[in-house]
Structure 1
Amino acid sequence: MSTLVVGIGGTTRRPWSIGPRVVELLAADSVDELDDVCLRTETTVPGRLWDSIPHLDRLVVIEGISHGGLAGMVRQTVLEVGAGGGPGAHAGIGVLSLLAASGLPRRVVIFSVEVGQPDQDEAVEHPASPVADAAVAAVARMVRAELGRRASDRTRERP
């Protein structure tokens, strides 16, 4: 099982640095020493990730978003690929099967942290913000839980 954990965002401790801050915390906890787990920070366009994806079994992405929600709110999105005719199945071929054939990892997990709006008293803007720190710590725990999943708990083999 090969897993890439990517924190997307800036390198300064600001709202968009949530992803790199989580990766930094995971590295401090030696998560990158787990078998087949690689930690990475992406500070530019995440398109460079596609070079690594065809060789992965699992991709975990941490990002900061600004969709007008409450600052610090975490949304977890899980995409299970290779489970056969799922959504959009037609004649036994589903969207997820097509994604699996294109090289997408069998499991993609995205942790999106709402960074808030400037009119929310810049709750996540300040680097020492309790909201930002709580979100970073919470997502790090969620990623650790994801990494602790056994291979048998993941998805079925690709078709």
Structure 2
Amino acid sequence: MRRDYFTLDVTTGDETKPQITVSFDGPAKSFEDRLTDEAGMTLDTEQLDVTYRLHDDALTVGGSGVLAVTNRITGDFVLECNADAGMIDQLVSAARENDDNNADGRYQFSVTVNDHEMLSCDRDIFLVYNTEGDLLRQHSLIPSGVEL
């Protein structure tokens, strides 16, 4: 799946839950297959991991990296898209600031396919890795009590 088929939007607000929206504008059938299990049902959100890997050493505006969604059960990539590091930093900061208001999850994650919402869920965990693949705990969302 080509990364240029995907666009990423991050919205944050004082009173609203931060949101990541990944939009796909490519061949729908092949991507929809990645979002479904063998029975044709949309993957359960508990089966998905959302992560970000930096391309350079700074999680700042202008920095670059890749947002990835993987199937936790199979390890298969569902999608990868290029993402500005500053947008990711804003998401994590907003999720931490609004933590008390977000009982159902720290941020909202959704995927649209050709303007049709395929997946939408509340998420608590968002892992950020450096260029070497090491977890950056200070830039990640890890609920208390979760051991990695």
TM range (shorter): under 0.3
Give the greater-gyration-radius structure (CA): 1
Normalised by the size of structure 2, how large is the TM-score?
0.27
Q: TM-score, normalization: structure 1?
A: 0.26
